[in-house]
Amino acid sequence: MTESTRDPADVAAWLRLTATPGVSAQSGRRLLAAFGLPQTVLAQDTARLREVVEPDVARALSAPPDAAMSSLIARTVAWLAEPHHAVVTMADAGYPAQLLDLADPPLLLYINGNPGRLSGHALGIVGARKATAQGARDARAFASAFSQAGLTVVSGLALGIDAAAHAGALEGLGGTVAVVGTGVDIVYPARHHALAHQIVDAGGAIVSEFALGTPGIPNHFPRRNRIIAALSRGVLVVEAAERSGSLITARLASEIGREVFAMPGSIHAELARGCHKLIRQGAKLVETPVDVLEEFGDLAAIAQLQPSRPSGPSAQRVPSGASADVADVFGAALAYDPVTFDALCERSGLTADVAAAALLELELGGTVERVPGNRYRRLA
């Protein structure tokens, strides 16, 4: 098995299988199970294919590729010749095994960036497109803490919470993956061109199951949500209305055994209602990154920080118990002039994951401010 599919004949066969109208993820898997790899599927006569799929689909698979299909194949082969581009199929060693938890895993993925980023420990962060300023700040801060802990942050490159989550992840170590509802050669929304380039340049990836050139079709976005859910060990919903795509992602995550987390808000806030609904249904209420990280035993070092809970809307959040010592250490290491994160770790003797979580608590508590360049300074 290869890490990805690059041979032009194999690419052509996979595209003919997956891009033929009427071939779904489920029917494609049935064809692969019945006959083997796509080139063998396409070698079958119509009668054999009709034993597995509908007659019109069987006829389409048996016919020679038309002009549109030939153009797609040529465009994809040319795209694969460029750096950082890959097609990973279910037959490749690089296919993310966690996607097989889905009832309809994608038969192939188009990847712009680092395919290996899809198989590491990951956390999904989703939420409202029309996010509040506070929601966007929270998404960015939490994503930064998760990334500093080594988690890959997975989201959908949409406006609002998604964009904030990707931006926060780029400030850490874990990188980020954007699962999109278009072809990977199209950035949607267009204003995220710079963000998309940053994701790839930082060793992340932009991923889609849709063919190159596929525009932003509304029903594609709920479908991409199942991939966000499956790639992630858990999904955090930051802000969401009572009826939203974020709740679809959370439901899909729960159905395949992933953890669901939700950030609460005001009872008067429209964008808190979806999160409150999830919490009533059993999602874990999240106030700090530690609330998420402590669910993952192999990241237990982070869970040593047990922050106190705020007693009111304006209460400061500061580490308590075992993490009070961490705050004391930062008191000596952190000055009123900006200090880089690496310098703080060196001065304090703390590991990057513990330092990131502690800094976030101090930032939320209003005693530390993050400034451009991943630097921090004291406020009090």
| DSSP code for 283 | P
Domain assignment of residue 367, given as a range: 305-378
* 210 and 61 inside one domain: no
- 367/95: higher pLDDT: 95
* 286 and 337 inside one domain: no
Look at residue 106 and tell me if it is in a domain. no
* 258 and 346 inside one domain: no
Residue 279 CA, chain-centre distance (Å), reads: 21
What mean pLDDT comes out for the span 356-362?
73
* 243 and 125 inside one domain: yes
For 217, other C-beta atoms within 10 Å of its C-beta total: 11
* 146 and 216 inside one domain: yes
Look at residue 107 and tell me if it is in a domain. no
What mean pLDDT comes out for the span 354-366?
71
Instruction: Break the chain down into helix, strand, coil percent, rounded to 5.
Output: 50, 15, 40
| DSSP code for 289 | H
Q: Is the full-model pTM beyond 0.75?
A: yes
Q: Using CA atoms, how far apart are residues 245 and 250, in angstroms rounded to an integer?
A: 9
CATH number at residue 321: 1.10.10.10
* 284 and 318 inside one domain: no
| Cis status, amide bond into 307, omega within 30 of 0 | no
What mean pLDDT comes out for the span 208-230?
94
What per-residue confidence (pLDDT) applies to 298?
A: 57
- Which residue, of 271, 299, 327, is where some domain finishes? 299
Look at residue 77 and tell me if it is in a domain. yes
Q: Where are the beta strands (DSSP E) in 50-107?
A: 85-89
* 234 and 272 inside one domain: yes
Look at residue 189 and tell me if it is in a domain. yes
| DSSP code for 271 | G
* Secondary structure string (H, E, C) spanning 214-264: CCCCCCHHHHHHHHHHHHCCEEEECCCCCCCHHHHHHHHHHHCCCEEEECC
CATH number at residue 51: 1.10.150
Give the pLDDT confidence of 202-215 residue by residue, as tens digits. Answer: 999 999 999 999 99
pLDDT band at 329 (very low <50, low <70, confident <90, very high): low
Antiparallel, parallel or unpaired: β 176-179 and 152-155: parallel
Q: Using CA atoms, how far apart are residues 163 and 169, in angstroms rounded to an integer?
A: 10
What mean pLDDT comes out for the span 262-283?
94
Look at residue 134 and tell me if it is in a domain. yes
